[in-house]
Amino acid sequence: MASKQDAAWKLARHLADTRFEDLTLDAVEATKKSILDTLGVMVAASGIAPECRLLVDLIGEAGGKEESSIIGFGGRVPAWMAAFVNGALGHCLDYDDLFYEAPVHPSSPVVAAALAVAEREGHVTGKQFVTAVALGNDLTCRLGLAMRWKMDWNPTTVLGAFGAAAASGKVLGLNEDELVSALGIALSEATGTQEMRYSVGNHLGGMRDGYPARGGVLSALMAKQGIIGPENCFEGRAGLFNVYFGGDVDRNALMRDLGKKFEGTRVAIKAWPTCGTSHVYIDATLRIASEQNLKPQDIAAITLHVGDFAMLHCQPIEERRRPQTSADAKYSIPFCAAIAATRRRVTINDLTLEGIKDPAVVDMAQKVNPKLDARFNAEKGEPPGMVEITAKTGKSYSKQLEFGYGHPGNPVSNEDVIQKFRDCVSCSAKPVSETAVERVIEMVMKIEEVRDIRDIVRPLS
């Protein structure tokens, strides 16, 4: 007889019982924006990130039942394969949304998983879909709040597997016992370390969210098939909390206001296609350049005051100043600051293989130096930071920020979210008509009226 004391049981009951009508208005609106934003960055990656084509080709070789679409590229494959590719597309540009307080990227694995299952099942309504994504994002963020992170495991690939399983299970209509099994099975899918971020020259730091998306879909489908997973996946002797975090977790943060407060409302839509840690430095650099009207030729040096975690994205400094891949450029705070100082912007095209070779940006990057400053050490989420720019006149200007544009404290406007979607879709591997783009925007922003989620997917795949 199950004790039903593990957090998985209460969470599963909550997942099973929650209806669209139970979501708060701000949860619905925030989830709509996350869905639109995530679809956009998936489509953009299809046309910009060449490594994604390698993954699509590999999945295509495997073949299988045509269940779910590959965003941007087209073609249909088994649901968990589509989730794998679309999850990878969702984070490949590092332009997907971010929960700063954890930090985790909830929507790329959750939306990819829920989308694949919704297509597989067919006739899933907008209300069902937005409920599943809101619950999956909420769970991922709550797990992030509960953990005591030591910068070892990758939060999104580990915790996102549970959020993706929750969203997939909700779409499938699993009951409480089945959802406990889905979460238990997801424990075997929760994996991945920060080495993919710390090592330069690899593709996995971008593709990583395919793993929790795929794992979430498989976990939910296995549970629906009648496969029983471990019932104490979170607090068991060898559960997530004890094995991954040494038992040092905040259970209250996981359970507090469950069903009343949805943490997805505090997810940040990114303003720039770079790692979240770089955003305070991009924002501060842009502000100084604008306020002081500093042109690239006016700048003698840029000093980045960084804490322990941000410093990991600044070393080794010579490699960070001259990234060889788009992924390396996104995770290089010195290079991101150099783009901002040179171009007074940071766009998708600035981070392409061609863009990162711009001689003016490379030259500026040689002027950027990180300085370790314990005031900006990471405690929970993305840390604050400070930029100091020294002009050739000898005068220095500094700007310290707690967070950058896009953070919940300074959120991206609805207009900017929609324009970001338009910009992203313009980069699709398969062209999407302007009419189709506007139709998708309308459907997502009025998703509660959509009768079949496949109507949203078709124009983008």
CA–CA gap between residue 336 and residue 343 (Å, rounded) = 11
Tens digits of residue pLDDT in 372-389: 999 999 876 688 999 999
Identify the burial level of 369 via C-beta atoms within 10 angstroms of its C-beta, where 0-12 means exposed, 13-18 middle and 19 or more buried.
Answer: middle
Q: Could you report the per-residue pLDDT of 105-119, keeping only the tens digit for each?
A: 999 999 999 999 999
Report domain 276-401's class. Answer: alpha beta
Is the pLDDT assigned to residue 1 strictly greater than 80? no
Q: How many residues does the chain have?
A: 461
- Determine the 3-state secondary structure of 291 from DSSP: helix
> Quick check: 106 and 140 in contact, CB under 8 A?
yes
Retrieve residue 309's tokens. Answer: 């975690």
Cα–Cα dist 45/88, whole Å: 9
Cβ proximity of 412 and 423 under 8 Å? no
Note the pLDDT tens digit of each residue in 403-451. Answer: 999 998 899 999 999 999 999 999 999 999 999 999 999 999 999 999 9
Q: Does the domain at residues 7-271+420-460 carry the CATH identifier 3.40.50.300?
A: no
pLDDT for 201: 76
User: What are the extents of the domains in the chain?
Assistant: 7-271+420-460, 276-401
Mean pLDDT of 338-367: 95
Please state whether beta strands 368-372 and 396-401 pair in parallel, antiparallel, or not at all (unpaired).
unpaired
